[in-house]
A = this chain, B = another copy of it.
Amino acid sequence: MNILYDERVDGALPEVDKAALLQALRTQLPDLEILHQQEELKPYECDGLSAYRTTPMLVVLPRDITQVQGILRLCHARRVPVVARGAGTGLSGGALPLEKGVLLVMARFNQILQIDPAARTARVQPGVRNLAISQAAAPFGLYYAPDPSSQIACSIGGNVAENAGGVHCLKYGLTVHNLLKVDILTVDGEQLTLGSDALDSPGLDLLALFTGSEGMLGVITEVTVKLLPKPQSAKVLLAAFDSVEKAGHAVGDIIAAGIIPGGLEMMDNLAIRAAEDFIHAGYPVEAEAILLCELDGVEADVRDDCDRVRQVLEQAGATEVRQARDEAERVRFWAGRKNAFPAVGRLSPDYYCMDGTIPRRELPGVLKAIAELSAEYGLRVANVFHAGDGNMHPLILFDANTPGELDRAEALGGKILELCVKVGGSITGEHGVGREKINQMCAQFNSDELTLFHAVKAAFDPGGLLNPGKNIPTLHRCAEFGAMHVHAGKLPFPDLERF
C-alpha cells in the first residue's frame, strides 16, 4: 500500500553523496551507530502511518548530545535534510523519512533524569516513554496527565513534537499545557533552552511555538514536564443512546452543566460491537452510541458529579446509565475504549484513522453528515473519539486489495476533514499534520497565514533542512491542490453545502 506516497518532496531535494556523508560521519563520530544497508533501513521506512513509506538514506542512533550535535553540524554543512524520530508511533507520518535525508533516531535517550516531588516536575530525555514518566512519579503520588492511546510505546519527545493529547486532555490539557522547559539543538547544533522552571517566561513564548512544530524547528534533547497529584478517586459512567445525535447533544449538555470530566469519550455502534467482540468490556451492543464519562477528584466531589452527570444523561435521552461498580469494571470500560482501534481493525483488512476537531455544538450535525458521506462513498466508518473536546477519530474501513477502495477512503477522509474546517474546527486534534494532512492545511489556512508560518520556520531553519515537506505546505503545493481555503467558515466548499 504505497499510493499515498508523495514523491514531490524528495524530488525537490538536492542530490546527496551518500558514500561521502557516511565516510564523514564515521570519521568525525567514530562511536556513532549508523545503519546504511537496505535491510537495516527497512524497519525505519514508516512511522505509525504505514500507508506512507520511504526508505531513508541513512539512519543514525546517537547516544549523547555531542553525537547529535556532530550529526547536525555535519548535515548542516553539507545541506543534508534531517528527520528526527522518537518511538515512531506517530499517526500522521511526521517521522516519515526522506530518500535523500538522514533519519535521526532519538530512542537511545531513554533516561529519567530527575523526579522533583516538591516542584512537581520530571526532567527526562526525549526517548523516555510517556507511561514511564507516570510510573516513575507514582511512588510520590504524582503522574503525567497527557495519555495518548499509544502511551505504552510513544516517547515524550514525539509527544512534544506533535503536541499529543489523550483521553484526559479535556480536563488536563494537551502536551503544551503540561510542559515547563525543553532543551533543543538548532539546525546548526546550537544548544537552546525554551521555557523555564517558572510559570511564565519573558520574551517570546518559543516553548509553545516549538510544541507541535513536528521536528521543523529543532531537535529535542531534554524535556521538563509538570506532574499532577493523582486524583483521590475516579468513577466512570457508561450511557447508552438510541441515536448518535442524542449522544452528541448529551456531550454539550454535560459541559454546559459546569462539569469538566476527566475523560468524556464516545463510540458508535460499529465501534461498540467491534470493541465488545474483542475485549468483552460489557458494552450494550444494541446501542447506537455510548458515552464514557470519567469523573475524578476528591471522593465527595466525584460522588456529587456522578449524580449530576447521571441526571444530565437521563434528561438527554440515555436509554441506560451504568456506573462501573468497582475498579475492575472501570478498567474494563476503559480497556474497550483504549483498544477500539485494533478492535475495529479486525472488521476490515485496512482502516484509515482520521483526526479532526470541531466545536462541541457541531457534534450532532457532523456525525450525521459523516453517516451520509459514508453511505455515499460505500465505505463503513466507525466513530471512536474524545467527544468532550470535539476531537473526532472517524475510522474509515476499506480493503486496499479491492481496486479503488484506497482512493475512495482517502477521498472520504479528505471530505470529513474539510467538513471539520467548514464548521469552524480544525484538521487535526492530537495526531499532527505530518505528511498526511499537508494538503488539508491549504484548506485550513490562507496564503498570508502560510507565508507567516514559513517565515517563522525560516527564523529557526533558514535552509529548510529540518523535516522538509511536513506540517506546512508550500504555497505552490496549495495552488496545485486547488485553492480550497475556507476562512472562518465563510467561503463554501460547494459540494459540502448540503450539510
Interface residues of A (CB under 8 A from B): 117-120, 141, 163, 165, 169-170, 173-174, 176-177, 186, 190, 192-193, 196-206, 208-209, 211-213, 229, 252, 255-256, 258, 297-298, 300-301, 304-305, 357-361, 389-391, 424-430, 432-433, 437, 441, 444-445, 448-449, 452-453, 455-460, 471-472, 487-488
- Residue pair A206, B452 in contact (C-beta under 8 Å): yes
Q: Cβ of B433 and Cβ of A202 under 8 Å apart?
A: yes
| Contact across chains for B211 and A429 when beta carbons are under 8 A apart | no
Residues of B within 8 A of A459 (CB): 452, 455-456, 458-459
Given contacts A141-B258, A198-B429, A424-B197, contact A204 B298 (CB under 8 A): no
Alpha-carbon gap, A426 to B452, bound state (A): 29
Known interface pairs A255-B120, A359-B119. Does A209 touch B205 (Cβ–Cβ under 8 Å)?
Answer: yes
CA of A117 to CA of B428, assembled, Å: 25
* Contact, CB under 8 Å: A198 / B390: yes
* 25 A-B pairs in the complex with CB atoms less than 8 angstroms apart: A117-B256, A118-B252, A118-B361, A120-B256, A163-B200, A186-B448, A186-B452, A190-B448, A197-B425, A198-B389, A198-B429, A200-B212, A203-B433, A203-B441, A203-B445, A203-B453, A204-B209, A204-B456, A205-B212, A208-B209, A209-B209, A298-B305, A300-B304, A455-B459, A458-B459
Contact (Cβ within 8 A) A487 B193 = yes
**A253 nearest CB across to chain B (Å):** 9
Q: Nearest residue in B to A303 (C-beta to C-beta)?
A: B300
Distance of A192 Cα from B199 Cα, bound (Å) = 28
Report, nearest first, the 9 A-B pairs whose CB atoms are least far apart: A208-B208, A229-B258, A455-B459, A300-B300, A198-B357, A301-B301, A209-B209, A198-B426, A298-B301
Name the residue of chain B whose CB is nearest to the CB of A357: B198
Is the CB–CB distance between B200 and A204 below 8 Å?
no
Contact A192 B424 (CB under 8 A): no
B487-A200 in contact (CB<8A) = no
Residues of B within 8 A of A458 (CB): 455, 459
Question: How many monomers of this protein are in the complex?
Answer: 2
For A198, list chain B residues within 8 Å (CB).
357-359, 389-391, 424-426, 429
Given A252-B118, A300-B300, do A453 and B200 touch, yes or no (CB 8 Å)? no
CB distance from A140 to the nearest CB of B (A): 9
- The answer to whether A200 touches B455, judged by C-beta atoms less than 8 angstroms apart, is no
With a cutoff of 8 Å between Cβ atoms, the chain B residues found around residue A472 in the complex are 203-204
In the complex the two chains form, what is the Cα distance from A190 to B448 in whole Å? 8
Given A117-B256, A298-B304: 13 more A-B contacts, CB < 8 Å: A163-B200, A192-B449, A196-B424, A202-B426, A202-B432, A202-B444, A203-B433, A204-B472, A205-B211, A206-B452, A206-B453, A208-B208, A455-B458
> A394 to nearest B CB, angstroms?
16
With both chains docked as a complex, state the minimum distance between the C-beta of A327 and any C-beta of chain B, in angstroms.
20
Judging by beta carbons under 8 Å apart, are A205 and B176 in contact?
Answer: yes
Min Cβ gap A168→B in Å is 12
Contact yes or no, A200 B429, CB < 8 A: yes
Q: Are B426 and A391 touching (Cβ within 8 A)?
A: no
Nearest Cβ on chain B to A160's Cβ, whole angstroms: 12
How many angstroms from the CA of A426 to the CA of B197 in the assembled complex? 8
